[in-house]
């Protein structure tokens, strides 16, 4: 699909439809390019922006200073002119249609480039089957960002209260220091898996549920590696949110400090067929094995975060080895081309039969655009 003709328009970038809404707003905010999105669900019975998308726009408005947002009456056309990333202390009630992870992923991409370090308190659904849960972001996205030089004592993600879908009632606090520049990385050898860690959580159900999940997950994983420890996390009372549920997040750590993860949550109360904790544990363990087979230095849910940090790095070569690219990541690469005029060099590496290294890998190489935080004056 050739999109270049409409992107050359003088008013910034123009897009059609509601897909990849978050990517476009985040990249627009970072690059300072205005973006106009039209035909947002214009043929739908219920046209226009959904509540969770409007909630994301409000969150972006809270962390920036001077953003201009215009939405037409039906909500099918959005014009967004980004302001400066300000940061500071932010509280936001996320929409319950999507989990906090949906909003947090956008914040993770923006947080290092704020003017003052960010302290965001997000309330809503912390774990649901659709979006990456807070536990998963804490155990994979944060270590990934540390590799790019975003760390320090103020870099943390705390789950204060858990909230399962559909009722929510969870609360997380995300704090992140600001960085002037992002350092380039060379993550080309994921090495072997050395240990598996995980969290089995349950709220408003019997605490025994978590133990049943752990047992069945270990049943699968113990065949491969002895060093497995899965914590059980049973929150009670006010900290347990408003809806019952349980789930499991598993993280495999490699010798070189890469993290691959998989997770599953129980279906929200009253939706779909209920799942036994044993089945959930077993299926989640299989998902982790699938993720290990895909391999790479970054798991499939964090591919776009890694590629963004590579793009924004100093003007030096970054290389990252990924597993097969997800459709979301492929679209993200197109957006990076639109917003930053940056193309990646993509090399497919097929492991030979006898190596047993899993699926095809993709080596992504780029030279960073030398993005520097305009708010940090040079001392």
Tell me the mean pLDDT in the region 366-377: 84
Alpha helices in 51-127 (DSSP H): 51-63, 100-110
Q: What percent of the chain has pLDDT over 70?
A: 95
Tell me the mean pLDDT in the region 229-234: 96
- pLDDT tens for each residue of 63-118: 999 999 999 999 999 999 999 999 999 999 999 999 999 999 999 999 999 999 99
Tell me the mean pLDDT in the region 238-267: 95
Say whether pLDDT at 7 is over 60. Answer: no
Q: Which of 37-41, 139-143, 283-287, 353-357 has the lowest mean pLDDT?
A: 353-357
CA 248 from centroid of its chain's CA atoms: 17
Contacts of 367 (CB under 8 A, 6+ apart): 315, 316, 317, 318, 342
The pLDDT score that the predictor gives to residue 354 is: 66
Say whether pLDDT at 61 is over 90. Answer: yes
Cα distance between residue 252 and residue 254, in whole Å: 7
Q: Count of CB atoms within 10 A of residue 145's CB?
A: 23
**Whether pTM exceeds 0.85:** yes
- pLDDT tens for each residue of 10-34: 468 999 999 999 999 999 999 999 9
The pLDDT score that the predictor gives to residue 359 is: 83
The pLDDT score that the predictor gives to residue 4 is: 44
Say whether pLDDT at 9 is over 50. Answer: no
């Amino acid at each position: 699909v050739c999109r270049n003709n409409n992107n050359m328009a003088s008013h910034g970038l123009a897009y059609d439809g509601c897909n990849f809404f978050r990517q476009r707003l985040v990249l627009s905010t970072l690059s300072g390019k205005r973006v106009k999105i039209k035909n947002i669900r214009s043929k739908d019975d219920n046209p226009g922006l959904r509540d969770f998308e409007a909630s994301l726009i409000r969150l972006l408005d809270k962390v920036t200073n001077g953003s201009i947002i215009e939405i037409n009456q039906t909500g099918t056309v959005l014009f967004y002119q980004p302001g400066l990333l300000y940061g500071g202390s932010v509280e936001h009630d996320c929409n319950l249609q999507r989990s906090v992870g949906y909003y947090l992923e956008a914040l993770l991409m923006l947080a290092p480039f704020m003017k003052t370090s960010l302290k965001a308190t997000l309330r809503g659904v912390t774990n649901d089957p659709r979006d990456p849960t807070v536990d998963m972001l804490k155990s994979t996205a944060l270590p990934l960002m540390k590799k790019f030089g975003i760390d320090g004592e103020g870099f943390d993600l705390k789950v204060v209260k858990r909230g399962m879908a559909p009722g929510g009632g969870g609360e997380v606090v995300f704090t992140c220091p600001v960085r002037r520049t992002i350092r380039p990385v060379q993550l080309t050898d994921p090495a072997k898996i050395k240990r598996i860690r995980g969290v089995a959580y349950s709220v408003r159900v019997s605490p025994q549920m978590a133990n049943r999940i752990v047992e069945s997950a270990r049943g699968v994983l113990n065949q491969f590696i002895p060093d497995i420890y899965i914590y059980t996390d049973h929150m009670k009372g006010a900290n347990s949110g408003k809806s019952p549920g349980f789930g499991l997040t598993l993280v495999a750590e490699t010798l070189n400090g890469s993290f691959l993860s998989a997770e599953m949550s129980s279906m929200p109360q009253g939706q779909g067929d209920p799942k036994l904790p044993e089945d959930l544990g077993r299926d989640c363990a299989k998902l982790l094995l699938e993720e290990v087979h895909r391999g790479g230095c970054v798991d499939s849910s964090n591919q776009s975060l890694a590629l963004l940090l590579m793009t924004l790095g100093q003007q030096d070569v970054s290389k990252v080895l990924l597993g097969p690219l997800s459709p979301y990541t492929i679209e993200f690469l197109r957006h990076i081309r639109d917003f930053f005029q940056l193309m990646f060099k993509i090399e497919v590496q097929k492991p030979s039969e006898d190596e047993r290294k899993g699926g095809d890998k993709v080596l992504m190489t780029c030279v960073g655009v030398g993005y520097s935080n305009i708010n940090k004056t040079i001392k």
